[in-house]
Amino acid sequence: MPQALLDRYQQLIAREELRPDAEQAAAAARLAQLQQELEAHQGHGFFGRLLGRKALPPRGVYMWGGVGRGKSMLMDLFHDTLAIPEKRRVHFHAFMLEVHEVMREVRQKELGDPIPQVAAKIAQGLRVLAFDEMVVNNSADAMIMSRLFTALIREHGLVIVTTSNRAPRELYKDGLNREHFLPFIALIETELDVLTLNGKVDYRLERLMGIASWHMPLGEAATQRVREVFFRLTDYPPEDAANVPSLDLDVGGGRLLHVPKSLKGVGVFSFRKLCGEARGASDYLAIARHYHTVILVGIKRMGPDMRNEAARFVTLIDALYEHRVKLFVTADAAPEDLYEAGDGRFEFDRTISRLMEMQSRDYMAAGHGVVEGITG
């Protein structure tokens, strides 16, 4: 029921879980209108085909803004209160992995152009496809998205509702072969209503009031604090912790990095996995682009014999800092005591400075993404 969405939104404000926010209220009203359009036209697709007419679907919605502006909350309300069965909600990264898997199956069977077949399979039995966190960080996705979504929207009449941290024209910015991606941006701006949610209130940050970002020493108490961060940021029920989704993140070059806990732009990693194994800047950039928040557990105090781990840690923090990724950690020691002597110790001072800044409220309140003009 369209009114149910608006009623639940007003209840959140009444309980002071949200503050009155004009952009947010406008987005809630637009989503309620879309629900009304979808629910009022159930069955029109069948009768349109019966009469030889192709019913035009309602326009979709693209909501973008910084971290913590309420995009996922509005998506939750939209999907939960949409009173039609032909709906699906999926994280965008998981969706694209599914697309590539279906494309491989079609190619193996040598059934011709895979895009129309993939679109038909995805659209089967659906009227609404809702995405969390649309982001494009590899050329393989960028190359196919224009044709795929054109088919989904214009040929199959799917209504797309999506959230993103970036405005449409900022998607895949400076990416390889971006010219092939530009028609997708044009498609979004033509077929979807683009709504901005970029107000000053960061609701995720407010959820974390009272929780520090640096927890030491290593042990159960520190682990419990970062677990609490994960569940507050993702709204995942702690009692179902064993079933938190994982992800195999594409880090380029045909390589995948297993992320044991990955949900709503929050990823959990171990220091041993990220800095104890042979990894480079491309791995850390993929993480920084994909996640607005990283929880890094088990950071060791590093001696001179761990210069490789220290160098990787420096590169990791550079990538996270430059993309304004929020960082929560469990560690053996404070930043200034992590690497007291060894090769690269002089360069480590910059990392200490960045780690201290990353704990500040100003940093935490900044939106996710590269900030122009950052220098070492």
pLDDT at 116: 94
Q: Checking phi first, is residue 68 left (phi over 0); if not, alpha (psi -120 to 50) or beta?
A: left
Give the residue from 142, 164, 196 where a domain finishes.
196
Give me the domain span that covers residue 70. Answer: 2-196
In a domain, 373, yes or no: no
Give the residue from 196, 213, 246 where a domain finishes.
196
Q: Give the CATH number of the domain where residue 325 resides.
A: 3.40.50
Do 147 and 184 sit in the same domain of this protein? yes
Do 11 and 158 sit in the same domain of this protein? yes
pLDDT at 306: 94
Do 214 and 336 sit in the same domain of this protein? yes
Do 172 and 207 sit in the same domain of this protein? no
Q: Where are the alpha helices (DSSP H) in 41-179?
A: 44-50, 71-81, 92-108, 114-123, 139-150
Label the pairing between strands 60-64 and 159-164.
Answer: parallel
In a domain, 371, yes or no: no
In a domain, 376, yes or no: no
In a domain, 171, yes or no: yes
Per residue of the chain (376 residues), what is the pLDDT tens digit? 567 899 999 998 887 767 788 889 999 999 999 999 998 876 544 444 444 445 678 999 999 987 667 888 898 899 999 999 999 998 787 788 889 889 998 888 887 889 999 999 999 999 999 987 787 877 888 889 999 999 999 999 999 999 987 889 988 887 888 888 999 999 999 999 999 987 655 556 666 666 789 999 999 999 999 999 998 888 788 888 888 899 999 888 888 999 999 988 899 999 999 999 999 888 999 999 888 899 999 999 999 999 999 999 999 999 999 888 999 999 999 999 999 888 888 889 989 999 999 998 778 877 676 544 343 4
Instruction: Please give the Cα distance from 366 to 207 (Å, whole number).
Output: 15
pLDDT at 202: 56
Task: Name residue, tokens 């053996």.
Answer: 332
Instruction: Please give the Cα distance from 115 to 119 (Å, whole number).
Output: 6
In a domain, 375, yes or no: no
- Closest by alpha carbon to 371, among 334, 313, 302, 319? 319
Do 227 and 356 sit in the same domain of this protein? yes
Do 217 and 169 sit in the same domain of this protein? no
Q: Give the CATH number of the domain where residue 48 resides.
A: 3.40.50.300
Do 14 and 88 sit in the same domain of this protein? yes
- Closest by alpha carbon to 338, among 309, 359, 315, 316? 309
Give the residue from 158, 176, 196 where a domain finishes.
196
Do 235 and 188 sit in the same domain of this protein? no
- Closest by alpha carbon to 99, among 132, 140, 139? 140
Mapped onto helix, strand or coil, the DSSP state of residue 370 is coil
Do 328 and 265 sit in the same domain of this protein? yes
pLDDT at 46: 46
Element (H, E) at 158: none
Do 270 and 237 sit in the same domain of this protein? yes
In a domain, 224, yes or no: yes
> With the CA atoms of 305, 310, 312 and 318 taken in that order, what torsion angle do they form, in degrees rounded to the nearest 10?
-170
CA distance to 239, 246, 323, 328, per residue, from 242 (Å): 8, 11, 30, 21
pLDDT at 175: 80
In a domain, 269, yes or no: yes
Task: Name residue, tokens 């895949």.
Answer: 172
Do 181 and 272 sit in the same domain of this protein? no
Do 171 and 256 sit in the same domain of this protein? no
Provide the domain count of the chain.
2
Instruction: For residue 346, count CB atoms less than 10 angstroms from its CB and return exposed for 0-12, middle for 13-18, buried for 19 or more.
Output: exposed
Q: Which pTM was predicted?
A: 0.61
